[in-house]
């Protein structure tokens, strides 16, 4: 299976099912007959811009479309607890379990002022 085929299946699963974590996604892939490592799944999720959002029942993985970026922006404002900076770095403190979504949002900004590690 190619990377693009695997990522297409990931999109399909994320949009069709309610998956609360990468582990749930990993199990859904396994049930579909697709074996993938956690590291590969994490890279694919980052490539696709997968974020974990709160729901009434817990959390849900989703892939935001361009029109949803403003909704995520307001969600991020709630999830960031504190921002501290010095001469060389900025530390963003988030609610427990929210750092990945905040990081994905910041990466998605593709701002030249934000350096990449």
What's the rounded Cα separation, in Å, for the pair 33 and 43?
19
35-65 pLDDT, tens digit per residue, is 999 999 999 998 888 888 877 888 888 887 6
Residue in 108, 76, 73, 113 with CA at minimum distance from that of residue 94: 76
Is 99 strand, coil or helix? Answer: helix
- Looking at residue 102, its pLDDT comes to 81
> What is the fold, at CATH topology level, of the domain defined by 3-62?
Arc Repressor Mutant, subunit A (1.10.10)
pLDDT of 12 above 80: yes
What angle, rounded to 10 degrees, do the helices at 38-48 and 22-31 form? Answer: 110
What's the rounded Cα separation, in Å, for the pair 34 and 29?
5
Q: Are 61 and 20 in contact (CB under 8 A)?
A: yes
Look at 96 and 31; give whichever has higher pLDDT: 31
Tokens 């199990």 found at: 27
- Predicted model pTM: 0.57
Q: Where are the domains of the chain?
A: 3-62, 66-108
79-106 pLDDT, tens digit per residue, is 788 888 888 888 888 888 888 888 877 7
pLDDT of 115 above 80: no
């Amino acid at each position: 299976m190619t990377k693009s085929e695997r990522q297409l299946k990931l999109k399909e699963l994320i949009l069709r099912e309610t998956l609360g974590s990468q582990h749930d996604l990993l199990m859904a892939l396994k049930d579909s007959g697709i074996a993938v490592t956690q590291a590969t799944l994490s890279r694919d999720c980052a490539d696709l811009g997968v974020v974990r959002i709160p729901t009434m029942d817990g959390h849900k993985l989703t892939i935001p479309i361009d029109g949803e970026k403003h909704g995520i922006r307001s969600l991020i404002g709630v999830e960031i607890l504190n921002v501290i900076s010095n001469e060389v770095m900025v530390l963003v403190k988030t609610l427990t379990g929210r750092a990945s979504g905040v990081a994905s949002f910041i990466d998605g900004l593709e701002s030249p002022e934000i350096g990449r590690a």
